[in-house]
Amino acid sequence: MDFKNTEEFALELDNLDPLKEYRSQFHIPIINGTECIYFTGNSLGLQPKITKQYLEEELEDWKNLGVEGHFHAKHRPWFHYHKFTKELLAKVVGAKPLEVVSMNNLTSNLHLLMVSFYRPTSSRFKIIMEGGAFPSDQYAVESQVRFRGLEPDVAIVEIFPRDGEETLRTKDITKAIHEHGESVALVLFSGVQYYTGQYFDIKKITEAAHKVGSFAGFDLAHAIGNVKLNLHDSGADFATWCSYKYLNSGPGGVSGIFVHERHANNPSLPRFAGWWGHNESERFKMEKGFIPMEGADGWQLSNVNVLSTAAHLASLKIFEKAGIDELRSKSILLTGYLRYLLNSLNSDLIQVITPEAQEAHGCQLSIVIKEKGKEVFNQLTKEGVIADWREPEVIRVAPVPLYNTFKDVYTFYSILKKTMNL
Give pLDDT tens digits for 74-87: 999 999 999 999 99
Q: What is the predicted pLDDT for the residue at 62?
A: 97
For 166, counting Cβ atoms within 10 Å of its Cβ (0-12 exposed, 13-18 middle, 19+ buried), the class is middle
**Strand residue runs (E) in 191-325:** 215-219, 238-241, 256-259
Give pLDDT tens digits for 49-62: 999 999 999 999 99
- Give the contacts of 160 (CB within 8 A, at least 6 positions apart): 130, 131, 132, 168
Are the CB atoms for 220 and 240 separated by under 8 Å?
A: yes
Q: Judge whether residue 171 has pLDDT over 80.
A: yes
Q: Judge whether residue 267 has pLDDT over 80.
A: no
Nearest to 192 by CA among 241, 233, 158: 241
User: How far is the C-alpha of 85 from the C-alpha of 316, rounded, in Å?
Assistant: 8
Mean pLDDT on 139-157: 97
Q: Judge whether residue 136 has pLDDT over 80.
A: yes
Q: What is the predicted pLDDT for the residue at 268?
A: 80
Are the CB atoms for 409 and 338 separated by under 8 Å?
A: yes
Q: Judge whether residue 251 has pLDDT over 90.
A: yes
**365: three-class secondary structure by DSSP:** strand
User: How far is the C-alpha of 143 from the C-alpha of 152, rounded, in Å?
Assistant: 8
Q: What is the predicted pLDDT for the residue at 358?
A: 95
Q: Are strands 37-38 and 385-386 parallel, antiparallel or unpaired?
A: parallel
DSSP alpha helix (H) spans, 148-253 = 152-155, 170-180, 202-211, 231-234
Q: Judge whether residue 245 has pLDDT over 80.
A: yes
In angstroms, how far is the first alpha carbon of the chain from the final one?
Answer: 25
- Give the contacts of 64 (CB within 8 A, at least 6 positions apart): none
The model's confidence at residue 285, banded by pLDDT at 50, 70 and 90, is confident
Q: What is the predicted pLDDT for the residue at 422?
A: 78
**325: three-class secondary structure by DSSP:** helix
Nearest to 38 by CA among 295, 421, 411: 411
Q: What is the predicted pLDDT for the residue at 379?
A: 95
Q: What is the predicted pLDDT for the residue at 1?
A: 84
Look up residue 27 and give its DSSP letter: P
Q: Judge whether residue 143 has pLDDT over 80.
A: yes
Domains and CATH numbers, the chain: 7-47+323-419 (3.90.1150.10), 55-320 (3.40.640.10)
The model's confidence at residue 88, banded by pLDDT at 50, 70 and 90, is very high
